[in-house]
Every structure is written in C-alpha cells, then in structure tokens.
Homo-oligomer: A and B are copies of this chain.
Amino acid sequence: MTGALAPREDWTADRCPMAHALDVVRTKSAFLVLREAFYGATRFEEFVSRTQLSEPVAAARLRELTAEGLLEREPYQEPGQRTRRAYRLTEKGSDLLPVFVALMQWGDRWVVPGGARVEVRHHDCGAPVRAALRCEHDHAVAADELELARRR
C-alpha cells in the first residue's frame, strides 16, 4: 500500500474494522460453516456432513453466527416430522461474500496443489468471478495504487 496513513496516529488498532470483523468470524470452522451457507446448506445435518466438523463444533458455530446476526433460523416442517429450524444467511452474512471469493482465489493461486476443481462463475454470462479492487469512479485499482487516509 503506497501513501502513508497521515497522520498515522489517527489509526488506532481498537477501531480497526478488519480486527473487529475477525472478532465476529474468528475461527476456520466459522468460515467453513459460512461457506456451506453460501453454497446453499440450510439444515444442521448438511452443515455437519459438508464441513466435516463434529456435531458439537458445528452446533457451536451455528449458534454463534446466529447470535451475531450472520445467520437466522426459520422453522420448517417436512411431512410427518416435527418442526425444525433451517439456517439462512442474513444480509450481514451475505455481505461477507467478497471476503470468501477473495480467500478462495488466493488459496487457489497460492496454496492448493493443482488448483481447485470448482470455480465461482457469473450466472448470467458464465465467466469466472474475481474479487477485485475498484474505486467509486470504477477504476480498477492495483495494490500499489492504494492509500490509506483519514475519512472525510
């Protein structure tokens, strides 16, 4: 990141929005549960089988993410069954999607041997989707064109 945070002392760590975000989604297991919610999982059993987390860990993450307002529970009932709860992403939860896409593309480029077998695509045109940095004037922004500044 070029440019300096000027005055740099304006930046206090206790107000860092990234650190606060990581206080809410703080574990890999939380990311895995959210990943499955993005992929369409709604039922407890789906979260357990898809994440390969233990039932107690999956239940704890679902409870925490619901308490934090990233997931909400809705009642549903299948014929002849008791009423159960389905988990759905709230707007707050859905709004994390760029974080997931950015992590996926980084892992795909730098970590996964041979690359992932799946990719995220734009439904309308079929082209692969990337998390990209854009400014409000719609310029594509490279890493060395960023500056951190006091909010106006």
What is the interface of chain A, defined by CB distance below 8 A to chain B? Answer: 1-5, 10-13, 15-24, 26, 28, 31-32, 35, 38-40, 50-52, 92, 94-112, 115-125, 127-137, 139, 141, 143, 145-151
Query: Is B19's CB under 8 angstroms from A28's CB?
Result: yes
**How far apart are the CA atoms of A137 and B141 in the complex, in Å?**
17
Partner of A21, one of B107, B122, B132: B107
**How far apart are the CA atoms of A77 and B128 in the complex, in Å?**
46
**How far apart are the CA atoms of A122 and B20 in the complex, in Å?**
23
Query: Is B23's CB under 8 angstroms from A111's CB?
Result: yes
Given A22-B28, A40-B4, A102-B99, A129-B116 contact (CB < 8 Å)? no
Q: Which 6 A-B pairs have the closest CB atoms?
A: A17-B107, A21-B107, A122-B135, A127-B135, A17-B108, A98-B102
Given contacts A26-B28, A98-B106, A131-B131, 18 further A-B contacts (CB under 8 A): A10-B118, A13-B32, A13-B52, A15-B117, A17-B104, A18-B103, A21-B104, A23-B28, A96-B106, A99-B99, A116-B151, A118-B149, A119-B151, A120-B147, A121-B149, A122-B139, A122-B146, A132-B132
